[in-house]
């Protein structure tokens, strides 16, 4: 098919230079139309006339443009059989595919490292698997096929072409992205077997070598239908290491800026706008607390999770928790009766995890205790255990609520406090991980008493 170019694009770049040329692919990447130079490069890299565009950087940019639904233009460098080609590519997506506009086409000779090995079509078949040697540009330099590989001329026909001339994923899609194939199941073209790919530096050249070993058979669970596009469990496992840290910085900036505005630090502000800023900062803090809870949830539910065993002073940690939440309590005119400064209670646990549990328990007590009331932090010990109890004068809990209190996502019908329903679940899991426990005693109208028990130090 022919592509109508925008008038501003199809121009001569400089005197004596060739005009821009066009190409077009469909939504699956199949090349529908191409100028002479693009078609020559496509065929040179192993592409078919009605096949997927065989120039990886152009195909990647086109796919990216299609995913975003917007026009993209940037410089691209592609490796041909004998030259590196620099060009400017403009991709314009529509409902049927992507139009390519190539300009500033400039070819330069491929670098020739002095230690580049001579090209070799193949070696003797490897009885245990296969090896594909690649140059620094990712092109096939040598192919040692596996025993029983039927395509006798595969090695020669793939020389200086991308890895996809030989290798695909198990769905038959091109396997050109070296960062994604290491440890993955792949297939050789014109071969029914499945292999595990291993990517390592080539000791004999500046490039890489892909080693293929026979893949084990999949069990029934692994051969089931592929996971959905949104895999909540898989994404959840990325939260603490990737998603959570990425969210904390922008949320922190929102909170800081909102507090600056609400505090009128930059000048006078109408009272209602200051109130809006305070609401934004409060919502940001709730969101940041949820990020922390989800990160902790991922950590404690990971296989092999354990807490450190180190000597801690439970009395000191109780005083620290009271000090950290003193301002929050003072805002509600709540008094905290904490252990005396000379009290000590040796225990065994992980310092930051014990403090985390106490902050959660004390924070909950402040949230649900009435204004002007008291909260007590009391220490106790036994032959091989020690404990701290946080008691409040709140509304108390029924026996049914006490049974559900430590469940994941359980908020007992409370929906206005910004909590996640994870705090007590996480706290008890942490207590158990430290070989202790977290219990509750309460009755309606009689407040609640949460007790953290730990091994004696």
pLDDT grade for 198, boundaries at 50, 70 and 90: confident
Answer yes or no: do 405 and 329 share one domain.
yes
Q: Is residue 122 part of a domain?
A: no
Residue with the larger pLDDT of the pair 175 and 76: 76
Answer yes or no: do 252 and 293 share one domain.
yes
Residue with the larger pLDDT of the pair 220 and 339: 339
Q: Is residue 115 part of a domain?
A: no
- Give the chain's mean pLDDT: 77
Answer yes or no: do 165 and 193 share one domain.
yes
pLDDT in tens, 246-261: 777 788 888 888 888 8
Q: Which of 177-181, 229-233, 310-314 shows the highest mean pLDDT?
A: 310-314
- Structure confidence at residue 120 (pLDDT): 41
- Structure confidence at residue 119 (pLDDT): 40
- Listed range (4-13, 270-279, 293-302, 409-418) with the worst mean pLDDT: 4-13
Answer yes or no: do 96 and 163 share one domain.
no
Question: Is residue 3 scored above 60 in pLDDT?
Answer: no
Answer yes or no: do 354 and 445 share one domain.
yes
pLDDT grade for 205, boundaries at 50, 70 and 90: low
Question: Is residue 235 scored above 90 in pLDDT?
Answer: no
Q: Is residue 223 part of a domain?
A: no
Specify which residues 390 forms β-bridges with. 377, 450
Answer yes or no: do 294 and 419 share one domain.
no
By the 10 Å C-beta count (0-12 exposed, 13-18 middle, 19+ buried), 154 is classed as buried
Question: Is residue 17 scored above 90 in pLDDT?
Answer: no
Residue span of the structural domain in which 190 resides: 129-214
What average pLDDT does this structure show over 270-291? 78
Q: Is residue 193 part of a domain?
A: yes
Q: Is residue 347 part of a domain?
A: yes
Q: Is residue 64 part of a domain?
A: yes
- Structure confidence at residue 44 (pLDDT): 81
Show which of 59, 80, 109 is a domain's final residue: 109
Answer yes or no: do 67 and 47 share one domain.
yes
Answer yes or no: do 208 and 236 share one domain.
no
Q: Is residue 7 part of a domain?
A: no
pLDDT grade for 55, boundaries at 50, 70 and 90: confident
Answer yes or no: do 361 and 406 share one domain.
yes
Answer yes or no: do 333 and 405 share one domain.
yes
pLDDT grade for 347, boundaries at 50, 70 and 90: very high
pLDDT grade for 334, boundaries at 50, 70 and 90: very high
pLDDT grade for 451, boundaries at 50, 70 and 90: very high
The Cα–Cα gap between 343 and 316 comes to 8
pLDDT grade for 66, boundaries at 50, 70 and 90: confident
pLDDT in tens, 296-321: 767 776 666 778 889 999 999 999 99
Show which of 300, 330, 352 is a domain's final residue: 300
pLDDT grade for 153, boundaries at 50, 70 and 90: low
Show which of 43, 75, 109 is a domain's final residue: 109
The Cα–Cα gap between 212 and 278 comes to 59
Answer yes or no: do 291 and 328 share one domain.
no
pLDDT grade for 122, boundaries at 50, 70 and 90: very low
Q: Is residue 6 part of a domain?
A: no
Question: Is residue 151 scored above 80 in pLDDT?
Answer: no
Q: Which of 67-71, 281-285, 303-307, 384-388 shows the highest mean pLDDT?
A: 384-388
- Structure confidence at residue 176 (pLDDT): 64
Answer yes or no: do 431 and 349 share one domain.
yes
- Listed range (199-208, 227-236, 386-395, 398-407) with the worst mean pLDDT: 227-236
pLDDT in tens, 99-120: 999 988 888 876 554 444 444 4
Q: What domain count does the chain have? A: 4
Q: Any idea what the CATH number is for the domain that residue 158 is in?
A: 3.30.450
What average pLDDT does this structure show over 19-47? 87
Q: Any idea what the CATH number is for the domain that residue 352 is in?
A: 3.30.565.10
pLDDT in tens, 348-388: 999 988 998 999 899 989 988 999 999 999 999 888 899 99
């Amino acid at each position: 098919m022919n592509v109508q170019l925008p008038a501003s694009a199809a121009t001569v770049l400089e005197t004596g230079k060739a005009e821009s040329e066009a190409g077009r692919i469909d939504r699956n990447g199949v090349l529908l139309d191409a100028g002479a130079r693009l078609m020559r490069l496509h065929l040179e890299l192993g592409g078919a006339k009605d096949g997927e565009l065989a120039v990886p950087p152009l195909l990647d940019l086109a796919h990216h443009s299609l995913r975003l639904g917007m026009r993209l233009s940037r410089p691209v460098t592609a490796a041909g059989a004998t030259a590196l080609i620099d060009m400017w590519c403009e991709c314009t997506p529509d409902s049927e595919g992507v139009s390519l506009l190539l300009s500033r086409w400039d070819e330069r000779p491929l670098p020739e490292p002095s230690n580049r090995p001579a090209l070799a079509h193949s070696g003797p078949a490897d009885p245990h698997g296969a090896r594909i040697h690649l140059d620094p540009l990712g092109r096939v330099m040598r192919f040692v096929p596996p025993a029983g590989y039927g395509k006798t001329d595969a090695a020669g026909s793939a020389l200086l072409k991308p890895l996809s001339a030989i290798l695909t994923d198990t769905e038959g899609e091109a396997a050109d992205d070296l960062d994604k194939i290491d440890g993955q199941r792949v297939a050789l073209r014109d071969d029914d077997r499945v292999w595990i790919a291993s990517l390592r530096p080539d000791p004999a050249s500046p490039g890489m070598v892909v080693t293929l070993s026979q893949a084990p058979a999949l069990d029934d669970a692994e051969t089931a239908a592929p996971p959905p596009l949104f895999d909540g469990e898989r994404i959840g496992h990325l939260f603490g290491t990737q998603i959570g840290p990425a969210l904390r910085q922008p949320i922190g900036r929102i909170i800081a800026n909102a507090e600056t505005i609400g505090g009128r630090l930059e000048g006078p502000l109408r009272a209602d706008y200051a109130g809006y800023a305070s609401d934004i900062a409060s919502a940001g803090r709730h969101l940041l607390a949820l990020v922390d809870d989800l990160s902790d949830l991922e950590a404690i539910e990971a296989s092999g999770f354990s807490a450190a065993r180190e000597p801690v002073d439970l009395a000191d940690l109780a005083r620290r928790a009271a000090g950290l939440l003193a301002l929050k309590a003072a805002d509600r005119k709540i008094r905290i009766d904490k252990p005396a400064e000379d009290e000590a209670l040796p225990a065994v646990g992980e310092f930051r995890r014990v403090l985390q549990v106490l902050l959660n328990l004390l924070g909950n007590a402040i949230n649900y205790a009435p204004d002007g009331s008291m909260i007590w932090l009391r220490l106790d010990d036994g032959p091989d255990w020690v404990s701290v109890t946080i008691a409040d004068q709140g509304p108390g809990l029924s026996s049914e609520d006490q049974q559900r209190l430590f469940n994941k996502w359980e908020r007992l019908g409370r929906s206005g406090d910004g909590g996640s329903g994870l705090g007590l679940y996480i706290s008890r899991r942490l207590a158990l991980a430290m070989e202790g426990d977290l219990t509750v005693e309460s009755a309606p109208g009689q407040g609640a008493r949460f007790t953290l028990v730990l091994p004696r130090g």
